[in-house]
Amino acid sequence: MAIPPSMTEQHHVSQRRQRRIAALSIVAAVVLVVLKLAAGIVSGSLGLLAEALHSATDLVAAVLSFLAIRVGQRPPDRTHPFGHGRAEHLAALFEALLLIAATIYIAYGAINRLATGADDIHVSAWTIGTILLVIVIDIGRTVTSHRASQEFGSPALASNALHFASDLAGSVAVLIGLLLVASGFAAGDSLAALIVAAIVATSAGRLLWDNAQVLMDVAPEGAERVATRAVTNLDLPLTLRRLRIRRSAGQYLADVVIAVDAVSHVSQGHAIADAVEEAVQDALPGADVVVHVEPLDSTGSIRDRVTAAALAHPGIYEVHNVRVLLTDGVPETSLHIKVRPDMRLDHAHELAERVERDVREKVSGISHVDVHIEPIDAEAVEAGVVVDDQLLAVISTAVLQLTGRTYIEARLRDAPRGLTAYVTIVARADQSLHDAHELATRVEDLIQRRAPLIVDVVVHTEPVYES
């Protein structure tokens, strides 16, 4: 079975194809310049000479596109952290300036001939055959470059396609002009040259406008709307604060700022940011997306605001046991914070005082803030397996007394803090979480009263559906 190419391999293949198409454009431009120039000199046709000049600017443009694509495909480096993609847009601007210069020269020559009546043109079968061959080549390279620009999203190849399309239109105009001259209308060639000048000027204007828009970081039309819809359609607890999109070298670059609940864990905020990044990339394929996460000012309960204020301080790894009391209608709170076990007491005390000040700012009218400081537990501690049938029998009896059935599982572990029991019990699925927690607490208390050797009991409740 064939192994599909990786994304990196596909990217390299894409780059090679773009360079090959740009190189073929150079070869085609050389052939066209030679054909048009030779036919123009032999026939004396200003239209053909104008087209030769037009193709000469195309030759320069094709060389620039080839070089710009090579430069633009270089990976980011220290001095160009966002890559070199804008080289293509700079090349396109220079190509537009070349087209404007060609327009002025062609228009001047055509108007001068019309004013002086100096038309000495010799139309032959060879001249007509040459322009027909030119038209065939123009059609081929226009279609090839346009398809490639759509496939790769390359502004350099898009500008090439625009050049070649204007060449094609100009060649058709020159053919019509030569046929008019052959039928006796001498001014036909000069008029054809003016048409070529108008086509070139239009192409130059469009090229200037499109690439100036990109270099000025104008938001791509419709892209922000599509990306915003993709983010807001996510069923996630987030607020979209800012979304900015620009485009460079055919790639969307998105800058997104979202706000999540201030009490969310860092990993939760990161997961939400990943989902936002994926949604924008689905909406705008190939987009480079950067998502910045900010805390959402808590307007919820006093407990939420206290927790958010504490977690906002670097160095606090966990906040728990947040309690709120109302004394004569005035709130007061206490909370536990966990910090590194090697933190000095005076530094930990300063941190606790900062937490107290912030809580008072977040919760107006609060009378007291008591902060209990704890060291955060080690990631893992050694524990031994304890097998004691008598203790398990005590646990079973306690669970049976309070729940009407024995435990699902019970384990005993000898941890540094002492003997710990891990017990799984069943509870009715239709009862409230408050009631289930109260049941678990009663089980814990009863086990510790009947088995004082057990210093800690952890009870897990499994829901059971009763008919």
The span from the CA of 266 to the CA of 39, in Å, is 72
Residues whose CB falls within 8 Å of the CB of residue 372, separated by 6 or more in sequence, listed in order: 321, 334, 335, 336, 337
CATH superfamily of 384-464: Cation efflux protein, cytoplasmic domain (3.30.70.1350)
The span from the CA of 99 to the CA of 82, in Å, is 30
Question: What CATH architecture does domain 12-215 belong to?
Answer: Up-down Bundle (1.20)
pLDDT of residue 84: 66
pLDDT of residue 1: 41
Q: How far is CA 82 from CA 73, 77, 85, 166, in A?
A: 11, 8, 8, 33
pLDDT of residue 300: 65
Q: How far is CA 12 from CA 59, 239, 310, in A?
A: 26, 38, 49
The span from the CA of 386 to the CA of 337, in Å, is 32
- Exposure on the CB side of residue 307, measured as CA atoms within 13 A: 20
Q: Cβ distance 449 to 441 under 8 Å?
A: no
Task: Tell if the pTM clears 0.75, that is, is over it.
Answer: no
- Report the 10 Å Cβ neighbour count for 121: 21
pLDDT of residue 6: 47
DSSP strands (E only) in 116-229: none
The span from the CA of 334 to the CA of 371, in Å, is 6
From first to last of the 467 residues of the chain, give the pLDDT tens digit: 444 444 455 555 566 776 677 677 778 778 878 888 888 888 888 778 877 877 776 676 667 666 666 665 677 777 776 666 677 677 778 878 877 887 888 888 888 888 877 666 778 888 888 889 888 988 887 888 788 777 776 666 676 677 778 778 888 888 888 888 888 787 888 888 888 788 778 878 887 887 787 777 777 788 889 999 999 999 888 889 999 988 776 678 899 999 887 666 677 888 999 999 999 999 998 888 999 988 776 556 788 888 888 888 888 988 989 999 988 888 899 999 999 989 999 999 999 999 999 999 888 888 899 999 999 876 777 889 999 999 999 999 999 999 999 999 999 999 888 999 999 999 998 889 899 999 999 999 999 999 999 999 999 999 988 76
Outline which parts of the chain fall under CATH 1.20.1510.10: 12-215
Outline which parts of the chain fall under CATH 3.30.70.1350: 234-296, 302-375, 384-464
CATH of domain 302-375: 3.30.70.1350
Fold (topology level) of 234-296: Alpha-Beta Plaits (3.30.70)
Residues whose CB falls within 8 Å of the CB of residue 121, separated by 6 or more in sequence, listed in order: 43, 44, 45, 178, 181, 186, 189
